[in-house]
Amino acid sequence: MTTSPVQPEILNPEARTGLIILCDHASNFVPEGFDNLGLSDDIFTQHVAYDLGAEAVTRKMCELMGGAAVLAPVSRLLIDCNREPDSDTLVPRVSDGIMVPANQDLPASAIEARKRDYYTPFHEACSDLVEAHLDEGIVPLVVGMHSFTPEMGGEKRPWHAGFLWNKDPRLAQALIGLMERETDLVVGDNQPYTGRHLYYTMQRHGADHGLPQTTIEIRQDLLGKASMVDEWAALMADLLDECMDREDLTQRKYYP
């Protein structure tokens, strides 16, 4: 019997609150038939396989705010939903120095099958939510939910959270200002990564529609317990609630 590919999970699909959360690195799941991509189980507990804590924060925020979200269904080691469809790292052969045996020398047909089964359904679900809001005259804020490692290359990262953006700074700058006003946290502006790279999901479903958008990055050691997840979700919910009341963040605007 053939098993249907696992589908993206949509939280509160009927919600039209003006906020859409997209979590493209939500899962470390690899479906049957891929033999764990030739990797040991412990690899899938690490950041290389998914963004630890990002799914939990997304779920809690949706619970608090009643907004809609889409969770990608598979590990980014199988296929990375935050990559352009023709990217060399869409199906990573090596990630953070870890060679992925099942991704070596893949024929184009195998990559296309993964795109068809897991990548395209995720992005179609995202597109459907955005279009549903716009059809009802709602300009939604579009937020990507990610997490990052406390250290990279042997260097400690000082930021507690960061907000990424490419050409449209509106939502990122609003959230940075609010977080600096309300907390004493160290906040990154296009840190620990820059939104000028690796911004595909936000570009496609936010910026390309003129929508205010940002990727939220939270440091993973701050998401290690359910109580910590709850605190971050509550903080982000409060900040985004305030953003949704701002006139400059309810307008569509395109940046060249």
pLDDT tens column, 181-205? 999 999 999 999 999 988 999 999 9
For residue 256, pLDDT over 90 is answered with: no
- Among residues 222, 241, 148, 154, the alpha carbon closest in space to that of 188 is found at 148
Q: What is the mean pLDDT of residues 4-16?
A: 96
3-state secondary structure of 99: strand
For residue 36, pLDDT over 60 is answered with: yes
More confident residue, 177 or 152: 177
pLDDT value at residue 178: 97
Q: Is the dihedral of CA 122, 127, 132, 136 positive or negative?
A: positive
* Average pLDDT value for the chain: 96
Q: Of 33-37, 127-131, 152-156, which range is least confident? A: 152-156
pLDDT value at residue 161: 98
For 49-199, where are the alpha helices, taking DSSP H only?
54-65, 108-114, 120-135, 170-182
Q: How confident is the model at residue 243 (pLDDT cuts 50, 70, 90)?
A: very high
Q: Are strands 151-152 and 155-156 parallel, antiparallel or unpaired?
A: antiparallel
Instruction: Tell me the one-letter amino acid at 224.
Output: G
Q: What is the mean pLDDT of residues 3-28?
A: 96
Task: Compute the radius of gyration of the chain from its Cα atoms.
Answer: 18
Q: Which pair of structure tokens corresponds to residue 175? A: 């959230």
pLDDT value at residue 4: 86
Look-up of token digits 């990002």:
54
Q: Is the dihedral of CA 71, 202, 155, 153 positive or negative?
A: positive
Q: Which pair of structure tokens corresponds to residue 244? A: 């949704």
Residues in the chain: 256
Q: 184-190 contacts: CB < 8 A, separation 24 or more?
A: 185/160, 185/161, 186/158, 186/159, 186/160, 187/159, 187/160, 187/161, 187/162, 187/163, 188/159, 188/161, 188/162, 188/163, 188/217, 189/162, 189/163, 190/162, 190/163, 190/164, 190/165
pLDDT tens by residue, 75-117 = 999 999 999 999 999 999 999 899 999 999 999 999 999 999 9
pLDDT value at residue 139: 97
pLDDT tens by residue, 209-221 = 999 999 999 999 9
For residue 1, pLDDT over 60 is answered with: no
For residue 62, pLDDT over 50 is answered with: yes
Beta bridge partners of 148: 219
- Among residues 135, 215, 122, the alpha carbon closest in space to that of 168 is found at 215
pLDDT value at residue 162: 98
Reported as half-sphere exposure (CB side, CA atoms, 13 A), residue 39 has a value of: 25
Report the topology of domain 9-249.
Aminopeptidase (3.40.630)
Residue ranges per domain, the chain?
Answer: 9-249
Q: How confident is the model at residue 7 (pLDDT cuts 50, 70, 90)?
A: very high
